[in-house]
Amino acid sequence: MELTPEIITIYVLLFLTLASFVWEKITPDLTAMTLFAILLVTGLLPRDRAWDVFSNPAPITVGAMFIISAALSKCGVIESMAGAMQGLTRLGYTWFVFIMLLAVASISAFINNTPVVVVFMPVVLSLAKKLDIPASKLLIPLSYASIFGGTCTLIGTSTNILVSGIGQQRGLDPFGMFEIGKVGLPILFIGVLYILFFGQKLLPVRETLTSILSEDERREYITEAFVQHDSPLAGKTVESSDLMKARGIRVMEIVRSGVALPGDVKKVRLETGDRLVLACRPSGIAHARSVEGIDFVAESGLGLEQIAAHEGSLVEGVIGVNSPLIGKTIREINFRQRYRVVILAIHRRGKNVREKIESLRMEFGDTLLMLGTDRAINNLRQSEDIMLIDRPPVPAQNMRRKIPIVLATIAGVVIAASTGILAIEVAAVAGVTIIFLTGCLKPTEGYASIQWNILFIIFGMLGMGIAMEVNGASAYLAAILINFVNAYIPESMQPIFMLACVYLMTNLLTEILSNNAAAVLVAVLAIGLAETLGVDPRPFLIAVAIAASASFATPIGYQTNTYVYGVGGYRFTDFTKCGVPLNILYFIGSMAFIPLFWSF
């Protein structure tokens, strides 16, 4: 097959797209949509084929399952199951981990695994203290368990739905509801046994973000002081005043005429009557009281308010995937005035950041260590901007009566899709309609629960898949691989060899890119390879679906890994050490079971 200018352009765009995913200067969803726009403008993606992207059943099914998962979470089902684990700590570490792995995997097989991990995280953190073990011994297994469950059903993860939809658009039968479980279930138990027998040795001992504080720093007091009339502080900036001459004092906020002043408080020039909100360590209280020109509210009988971790006023929170804070700096957010808390440190990509926090742009998965009053923390808890992990979220009690409706809806979707009464996309949309009509979830809440960034990644990469097919780029690459196989691999071994190549290619891309992007790119190629070899594409698509989810070796390949990355205080290499052997086990298991159930 001839290498045309169109094919070369496709490969260049593909390389730039993958580089952008890794570089992360712009978000993956924006990268995917930019690619889609370029393909349309250049004509590499014909207009009449471009709209096939939006007729693919996968994105609407994925969006619908996000909504159904949100309804399940809002009604308190996941919280109730997580809470039921409280009494299991008496069984010891091994039995507790075993039950946790099976419970999380079972839930994740039927709903989006991200909310499962989000709800279970604070539970696991609290139970780790009861077990007297570091939380790092439990959080990676928690994330892995959610991945295990996702490989057992069609709706377990978005990549399964996506790969099935790609095959369906090319004339293949969609995956059955439990078809992928023929492989997913056996390797799930392989994964569970691996964690039980080797996890405790391989999993690191790491401390949470709170541990970087000294004992003195953990005992801080919040108090208020007023700048007196004729105070020598008037006209001076905070950083040049006597307040900053000793360690142990932090000016959290300056309130003037009833309004909290924006910007860097250290640069503000003080005026008579300014109210200062101070966070003082015990060593700094005496110095603060000795500063001339300020009066302490505490001395008027209000008292000092102690801030200690066990009282819940020193708290950690995670930036969620849909948080409006993503991409903004602390200064732009006006964080201190907006939430009435101060950020002490940020954990990002295995490092604790305590310097120049104000200029950092928030990213998904950032873990923040915050200090504030109980009232401020409780107000922050009501916001969806940051997920606090000090304790499990309190479910809305008045929604518990809706639990049977939500469970019946999920069961209906599963039964309708698995029996063939309805296509999965039709069943999912019908389920969402029932959720809305019965008041289990308001439409606005449902739309907000959809991870639109994932859908836009899917749309953009589906466009690339069609462009590769139309312009012959996938066929050209398939021909190169087939020529290599024909030259060096015996004919009887060619299908299994190519199956292994497809799996490894998908798995490698998943560890460094979006799993959905990897699934689309390799699924299109896999169908071309199978057709060129003259074999059934189905085992190849199953391999793509499994490999796209089996992301264990990096904290960036899968959302749930990213969530526990910062919370557990992990380093990047912790995932590599624990995950690479698991990746190998999943590969071996897939190569053993896929040919057993799907013949070439």
| pLDDT average, residue stretch 26-40 | 90
Q: How sure is the predictor about 298, in pLDDT bands with cuts at 50, 70 and 90?
A: very low
**Predicted pLDDT of residue 312:** 36
| Percent of the chain with pLDDT strictly greater than 90 | 27
**Predicted pLDDT of residue 484:** 84
- pLDDT tens across 218-275, in order? 556 666 777 887 788 888 887 777 666 656 677 777 888 777 777 677 788 888 888 8
Q: Please tell me the total number of residues recorded for the chain in this structure.
A: 600
pLDDT at position 51 over 70 = yes
Please choose, from the candidates 28, 58, 174, the residue with its C-alpha nearest in 3D space to the C-alpha of residue 520: 58
| pLDDT average, residue stretch 24-53 | 88
Please choose, from the candidates 559, 441, 454, 386, the residue with its C-alpha nearest in 3D space to the C-alpha of residue 72: 441
Q: How sure is the predictor about 3, in pLDDT bands with cuts at 50, 70 and 90?
A: confident
pLDDT at position 307 over 70 = no
Please choose, from the candidates 136, 149, 129, the residue with its C-alpha nearest in 3D space to the C-alpha of residue 81: 149
Q: Give the residue ranges of DSSP H helices in 534-558.
A: 538-549
Which stretch of DSSP H or E encloses residue 387?
strand 386-388
Please name the residue that has the structure tokens 């950020």.
343
**Predicted pLDDT of residue 306:** 38
pLDDT at position 394 over 60 = no
Contacts of 131 (CB under 8 A, 6+ apart): 89, 92, 93, 96
**Predicted pLDDT of residue 435:** 93
Query: How far is it, in rounded angstroms, from Cα 427 to Cα 423?
Result: 6
Q: How sure is the predictor about 128, in pLDDT bands with cuts at 50, 70 and 90?
A: confident
Contacts of 425 (CB under 8 A, 6+ apart): 57, 58, 60, 61, 64
pLDDT at position 334 over 60 = yes
Query: How far is it, in rounded angstroms, from Cα 301 to Cα 239?
Result: 29
pLDDT at position 50 over 50 = yes
Query: How far is it, in rounded angstroms, from Cα 317 to Cα 59?
Result: 30
| pLDDT average, residue stretch 462-472 | 88
Which of the 8 DSSP states describes residue 598? S
Burial 153-192 (b: 16+ CB within 10 A, else e): bbbbbbbbbbbbbbbbbbebebbbbbbbbbbbbbbbeebb
Query: How far is it, in rounded angstroms, from Cα 141 to Cα 147?
Result: 10
pLDDT at position 373 over 70 = yes
| pLDDT average, residue stretch 541-556 | 92
Which stretch of DSSP H or E encloses residue 371?
strand 367-372
pLDDT at position 98 over 90 = yes
How far, in Å, are 64, 121, 145, 391, 408 from residue 79 at the CA level?
21, 11, 17, 11, 18
Query: How far is it, in rounded angstroms, from Cα 358 to Cα 334?
Result: 9
Domains of the chain (ranges plus CATH)? 64-207+396-449 (no CATH), 220-307 (3.30.70.1450), 313-388 (3.30.70.1450)
CB 82 within 8 A of CB 123: yes
Q: How sure is the predictor about 502, in pLDDT bands with cuts at 50, 70 and 90?
A: very high
Contacts of 203 (CB under 8 A, 6+ apart): 136, 137, 140, 141, 574, 578
- For residues 284 and 491, the model is more confident at 491
| pLDDT average, residue stretch 360-382 | 81
Dihedral, CA of residue 592, residue 581, residue 117 and residue 142, to nearest 10: 110
Query: How far is it, in rounded angstroms, from Cα 574 to Cα 571?
Result: 5
Q: How sure is the predictor about 12, in pLDDT bands with cuts at 50, 70 and 90?
A: very high
Burial 531-557 (b: 16+ CB within 10 A, else e): ebbebebbbbbbbbbbbbbbbbbbbbb
| pLDDT average, residue stretch 282-294 | 65
pLDDT at position 470 over 60 = yes
Please choose, from the candidates 576, 564, 584, the residue with its C-alpha nearest in 3D space to the C-alpha of residue 206: 564
pLDDT at position 310 over 80 = no
**Predicted pLDDT of residue 145:** 95
Q: Which range among 51-55, 214-218, 421-425 shows the weakest confidence by mean pLDDT?
A: 214-218
Average pLDDT of the chain, as a whole number: 82
- pLDDT tens across 140-175, in order? 999 999 999 999 999 988 899 999 999 988 889 999
- For residues 540 and 22, the model is more confident at 540
